[in-house]
Structure 1
Amino acid sequence: MLSVKRRNDEYDLLVVGGGPGGYVAAIRAAQLGKRVACVEKGRTLGGTCLNVGCIPSKALLESSAKYHECTAALADHGITAEGVSFDLKKMMDRKETIIQTLASGIDFLFKKNRIQRFSGIAHLLDNRMVQITGESDVKVHAGAVLIATGSRAAAIPGVDFDGSRVVSSTEALAFSEVPRRLVVVGAGAIGLELGSVWLRLGAEVTVVESLDRILPAADKDISKQALRLFKKQGFKFVLGAGVEGVEPDGEGCRVTIAGRESLSADKVLLAAGRKPCIDGLGFTELGGRTDRWGFIEVDSCWQTSLPGVYAVGDVIGGAMLAHKASAEGLACVEKLFTGYGHVNYRALPSIVYTHPEVAFVGQTEESLTREGVPIKAGTCSFKANGRALALGDADGLIKVIAHRDTDRLLGVHMIGGQAGDLLAEAVAAMEFAASSEDLARVCHAHPTRSEALQEAARSIEQAAIHQ
């Protein structure tokens, strides 16, 4: 039997975008024996998450937290630290080193899995052919195309980015000096995380949010406690009011807020949302459907309205999380090439890496109540947890929500030190359709913070031991 010779420009899968959705999908497809190419316009792979998002923000959060611990938290442990200072340039250099290390790791994985990387901008000529323009200037044919182009920071009506006074998270991760006054527009994860970095390093931080609460995706009980704790740290909040404009004022600017006094600022960080990156892709010109916000519409298999063209990650909307994009990328190529791929969207974890951390999975009490789902809930404060007290980090609580009749876990919400790590147990439990009784009966090591999760589950049936 004669084998059909494949053209050099022909691939089983072409991935557009080398972020956490795209590069993971490319690697998995290659593992499945497919000939794969990936086109990325950026200098390095990893997308927003690695280069100007998740990773650099966590590096700066860690550095600023260590400085804050030395200046404000060690005294409670009987430790006196004097003359403590920080070197912002070294913090930034450390951040860049981490980015470069991880980016080179993805490069290695592409070479290991024989994935062809193209540098440039992709434009769909049809659902099987893509023009790549830039450092690479070629036409590529593919059996399937996967769009994973991600998202970018969105401006707000009346306020545009200028890269100097009014900035996105990208610029806020690279300030050359600590701003004296920082106004953050948006009280979600990005705004509060970057606000925490600069607050710890000495900035006066004011967060403006159009809603009447912070962290709108979190359970209300967690959001309420977060507001109290962040105010205690020094954050200032203007809630229930929108920013109407930003005007230059000397070397800084003045922020106009609807119905409130204006604010003076050296920098304004817009962190009020993100929009999909589809400009120049050629998707809509070919008849590809998007929703009213510009996100690509897909079916349950991540197939777009164009046959053979798929999309995952931020570009399709939903939870804009790197791990959600990766899960979709894996599931999409596995569905495409093996016939099975699935993402359980009800068990997607979300974490806000402030201190204390905010972490949750599943639905909130408010959303379940709106849907008319009969529920029961239990909580445990970390102030009843021996390990948290020993660490001197006992602010926060865990809330467990279960179905009133079946006892199946419907949501787990927490605020506290290392809450993001504690959440993994709850995510696994929900993935395997566990009940609150299952969590309550698992033996948790003592003394650990995880005991608080067990206590919260026990409290659903008024069986908590330590509270």
Structure 2
Amino acid sequence: MVIIGGGPGGYEAALVASQLGAHVSVVERQGMGGSAVLTDVVPSKTLIATAEWMTLTEQAGELGIGADGGPDGQAGTLRADMDVVDRRVRRLADKQSRDIRTRLEREGIRVVEGTGRVDPEISPAGSRRVHVAENDGGTQVLEAEVLLVATGASPRVLDTAKPDGERILTWAQMYNLTEIPEHLVVVGSGVTGAEFASAYNALGAEVTLVSSRDRVLPGEDENAAELIEGVFLRRGMHVLSRSRAAGVRRVGDGVEVELTDGRVVKGSHCLVAVGGVPNTAGMGLEEAGVSLTRSGHIETDRVSRTRAPRIYAAGDCTGVLPLASVAAMQGRIAMWHALGDAVAPLNLDTVAANIFTAPEIATIGVTQKAIEAGEVDGAITRLPLARNPRAKMLGIKEGFIKLFSDRSTGTVLGGVVVAPRAGELIYPISLAVAQRLTVDQLANVITVYPSLTGSIAEAARVLHRA
């Protein structure tokens, strides 16, 4: 097995292949873990973890928590030292990358530092060849009975908003900041834009979020997105809805974001978060028979096969779902299938996703939009967290738990959780969806009292005979 790309899709696939007895080589040019570990998921969520502590202080007074007076007689306040925060971000990312490499090498997996290109022809022996340009300047050719492409994606760069790494930034460059931006303008209100806007707002920066749609997080549950936008506004964020950026330019020690309607938003920094581009160019994939979409994503089936013999693909380069968890499962499925092990095709209906704003938004299964459109015959219930006793104790006033079930069978079809640590709270709903439990089965599990999960059981009870 040769795997090009050492992110979650690549290294998880390598571990499965090694477990099943294959000889595995992983080609990675950046560092094990790929962008998910080094410049995306791990760094951003580490930054957000610091921001989360800042949001927890909102209810401090209500909970009876105060700060001792400072030397000038003023009450002490929390602040974030971005130099310390960013050093911690980089340290944790580097450590995670080293840990992954150590694990792979301990399993006998060969790690090759370099960039891979696929030979267009299958060899006379029936194998695929990968030409590797090594990071140290050398070259080598790897033979593979099976090849997995898991090269991920990079931030999309606009010609009218080219990043300079100092004032105009992509999400991969945000960790170069040593101070909290005085005024951060975020272009793009999708998941990445909303997460960074939420984090830097909590860290004390003035934030303006430029959204081309009617609301932030346009692809998410409407009630959840409305709640998050309300939280953003309450915390002092400027949200410019139905506003599209025409260009971003650097002006001295600041930036100017020009909107298509002629308005200009001035700030100290600008994050351009307008999606990603698959890392598939220049790899020889089309010449090898791999079918690419117009956007450059690799077309695969539900067991991660491409149209080219002996070539599989996984992760963000496939455009299936830009989640590390999905990439990892695609990689595992590819190896199970290639090596003849028992395998179930990828099922996106059971994929849980989480948006790390404050509060978080976690989702699983069918959507309310699908039910209301008549695509699914489902029942809906929504319970506000504010009435949950544990939430009252914690000072949580915003958030809800929403549950969807099949009207005829009572089977749990999906759910939405908006709450602090929603990514943890969604798990029992995910189990119910994956195992096709009914609302009665979910309701009849005794929950801890008081607990936030008690509202999940309560929502299930509401749907009894719905």
TM range (shorter): over 0.9
Q: 1:327 aligns with which of 321, 326, 329?
A: 329
Say whether 1:457 aligns with 2:452.
no
Q: Partner amino acid for 1:49?
A: A
Residue in 1 aligned with 2:7?
A: 19
1:403-442 equivalent positions in 2, closer than 5 A: 403-442=406-445
Three-state SS of the structure 2 residue aligned to 1:387 is: helix
Partner of residue 37 from structure 1, selected from 25, 37, 49: 25
Distance, in Å, in 1 between the alignment partners of 2:132 and 2:233 is 49
SS of aligned partner of 1:21:
helix
Alignment of 1:197-236 (within 5 A): 197-236=199-238
- Whether 1:124 aligns to 2:118 is yes
Tell me which residue corresponds to 2:41.
Answer: 54
- Preserved contact between residue 378 and residue 458 of structure 1 (Cα < 8 Å): no
What CA distance in whole angstroms lies between the structure 1 residues aligned with 2:234 and 2:77? 24
1:243 CA displacement: 0.9
Query: Residue 51 of structure 2 is aligned with which of 64, 74, 97?
Result: 64
Q: Which residue of 2 aligns with 1:358?
A: 361
Q: Which amino acid in the other structure matches residue 64 of structure 1?
A: A
Deviations 1:174-219 (A, max 9, x none): 3121111111112122112212222122211111121212222321
Q: Secondary structure at the match of 1:34?
A: coil
Given candidates 396, 400, 413, the residue that maps to 1:397 is: 400
> Relative to structure 2, which stretch is displaced further, 128-137 or 377-386?
128-137
Answer yes or no: is 1:112 the counterpart of 2:102.
Answer: no
Q: Give distance in 2, aligned partners of 1:462 and 1:140.
A: 60
Aligned residue among 311, 314, 321 for 2:313 = 311
Match of 1:234, SS state, is: coil
Identity %: 29
Change (3 A) 1:157 1:371: farther
**2:309 aligns to what SS in structure 1?**
coil
The counterpart of 1:278, out of the listed 261, 267, 280, is 280
Where do 1:88-237 residues align within 5 Å? Answer: 88-126=82-120, 127=122, 128-134=128-134, 135=136, 137-156=139-158, 158-237=160-239
> What letter matches 2:224 in structure 1?
I
Of stretches 229-238 and 47-56 in structure 1, the one that deviates more from structure 2 is 229-238
Equivalenced residue count is: 449
What is the deviation of 1:68?
4.6
Moved more, 413-422 or 140-149: 413-422
SS at 2:61's partner residue? helix
Q: Kindly indicate whether the alpha-carbon contact (under 8 Å) linking 1:399 and 1:413 is maintained by their aligned counterparts in 2.
A: yes
Contact 2:184 2:206 in 1 (8 A): yes
2:72 corresponding residue in structure 1: none
2:446 is equivalent to residue 443 of structure 1: yes
- Quote the residue 1:3 is aligned against: none
C-alpha separation between the residues in 2 aligned to 1:328 and 1:77? Answer: 45
TM-score by length of 2: 0.92
Distance 1:102 1:214 in 2: 32
Deviation at 1:221, TM superposition (A): 1.5
Change over 3 Å in CA distance of 1:442–1:260 after alignment to 2: farther
Is the 2:26–2:110 Cα contact (8 Å) retained in structure 1?
Answer: yes
| Cα distance per residue 1:147-189 (max 9 Å; x no partner) | 0000111134633333233211111133121111111112122
The one-letter code of the counterpart of 1:104 is: R
SS at match of 1:173: helix
Aligned residue identity for 2:47: L
1:4 aligned residue: none
Separation in 2 of the partners of 1:329 and 1:190?
A: 24
Distance, in Å, in 2 between the alignment partners of 1:455 and 1:174 is 45
Correspondence for 1:294 among 287, 293, 296? 296
* CA-to-aligned-CA distance 1:437-462 (integer Å, 9 cap, x gap): 32222221111100111122222348
Q: CA deviation at 1:260?
A: 6.1
Q: CA deviation at 1:422?
A: 0.6
Taking the aligned partners of 2:375 and 2:78, their CA distance within structure 1 comes to 54
SS in 2 for 1:77: coil
- Per-residue CA deviations over 1:35-60 (Å, capped at 9, x if unaligned) read 00000001x20111111111111211
Per the TM alignment, residue 34 of structure 1 is displaced from its structure 2 partner at its CA by: 0.6
Residues 87-131 of structure 1 show CA distances to partners (whole Å, capped at 9, x for unaligned) of 222112222221122112111111111001101010001350000
Moved over 4 A (4+): none
Equivalent residue letter for 2:22: K
Q: Cα offset for 1:79?
A: 1.6
Q: Which amino acid aligns with 2:13?
A: A
> One-letter code of the match for 1:36?
V
Residue 10 of structure 1 corresponds to: none
Contact 1:122 1:281 (8 Å CA) reproduced:
yes
CA contact (8 A) 1:344 1:431 kept: no
Partners of 2:77 and 2:161 in 1: CA distance: 41
- Is the CA contact 1:92–1:174 (under 8 Å) kept in the aligned structure 2? yes
Could you report, residue by residue, the CA deviation over 1:252-281 in whole angstroms, capped at 9, with x for unpaired residues?
121111236321122111112111001221
Question: Structure 1 residues 85 and 268, CA, compared in 2 at 3 Å: closer, same or farther?
Answer: closer
Contact 2:194 2:216 in 1 (8 A): no
Question: What is the DSSP-based 3-state SS (H/G/I as helix, E as strand, rest coil) of the residue aligned with 2:35?
Answer: helix
SS of 2:409's equivalent?
coil
Q: Which amino acid aligns with 2:422?
A: A
Partners of 1:235 and 1:260 in 2: CA distance? 21
Runs of at least 5 residues in structure 2 that lack an aligned partner in the other structure:
68-75, 123-127
Give, in angstroms, the shift of residue 66 of structure 1: 2.3
